[in-house]
A and B are shown apart, each in its own frame.
Chain A
Amino acid sequence: DIQMTQSPSTLSASVGDRVTITCRASQSISSWLAWYQQKPGKAPKLLIYKASSLESGVPSRFSGSGSGTEFTLTISSLQPDDFATYYCQQYNSPWTFGQGTKVEIK
């Protein structure tokens, strides 16, 4: 199975900061990668698919990049609503998720 490794596990940042989360795949997944945001007590919400396509309704401060084995999720200017846990997912069977990155208030 393809392993997904996210870094960092926890990230402390302030409102207005530029934030970058990295996701590495154990083998090439082309652009078969999605990013989700999860807040406490809530279901995950889709942010990015096909590595860099922004889901409709998601603020443009979120962006994704990468292909092959290395991917990034960037929040250009962190907002109070963005403090949450973020997961990457590769969607080649079987589907696997990264372990998550918690974005905390600094």
Chain B
Amino acid sequence: EVQLVESGGGLVQPGRSLRLSCAASGFTFDDYAMHWVRQAPGKGLEWVSGISWNSGSIGYADSVKGRFTISRDNAKNSLYLQMNSLRAEDTALYYCAKSAVRVELLSWFDPWGQGTLVTVSS
């Protein structure tokens, strides 16, 4: 069974940093692109960042470009999101999601983890 388990969320002051992790199991991690998607309280889904299977292609939403960095460690079956210069508007539940198609970056997402909550507040 494919499992994605996010961790690292919490309460952080504006301007500070936080690093999210996503532990993957149940599939060959280094065959799949991975993504971060967030959902602000009571709001819709927003794609944040994605990374190809070999880290050769990386993309970011304009709202986080220059502040967030996505990375992966295929030896540890783990995905990361380093979030710097956090703002109140970054407050959200952050989901890790697997690309559905092996090797393909341009794919739908399946499955998703349960999310980790990031709250940016003083």
**Contact residues of A with B, CB < 8 Å?**
1, 32, 34, 36, 38, 42-46, 49, 55, 87, 89, 91-100
Contacts and interface: CB of A to CB of B under 8 A. Distances in A.
B46 interface: yes
A44 to B, nearest CB: 6
Contacts of B50: 93, 95
Given A34-B108, A43-B111, 6 more contacts: A44-B109, A49-B100, A49-B108, A93-B106, A95-B47, A100-B45
A99 B44 contact: yes
Contacts of B108: 34, 46, 49, 89, 91
B81 interface: no
B47 A97 contact: yes
Most buried by A among B45, B105, B112: B45
Interface of B: 35, 44-47, 50, 59-62, 95, 100, 105-115
A46 B106 contact: no
Contacts, number: 58
Nearest to A91: B108
Contacts of B100: 46, 49
A95 B105 CA distance: 11
B109 to A, nearest CB: 7
Contacts of B47: 94-97
B59 A94 contact: yes
Most buried by A among B35, B108, B110: B108
B102 to A, nearest CB: 14
A46 B59 contact: no
Contact of B111 (A46, A98, A99): A46
B10 to A, nearest CB: 19
A93 B105 contact: yes
Contacts of B107: 91
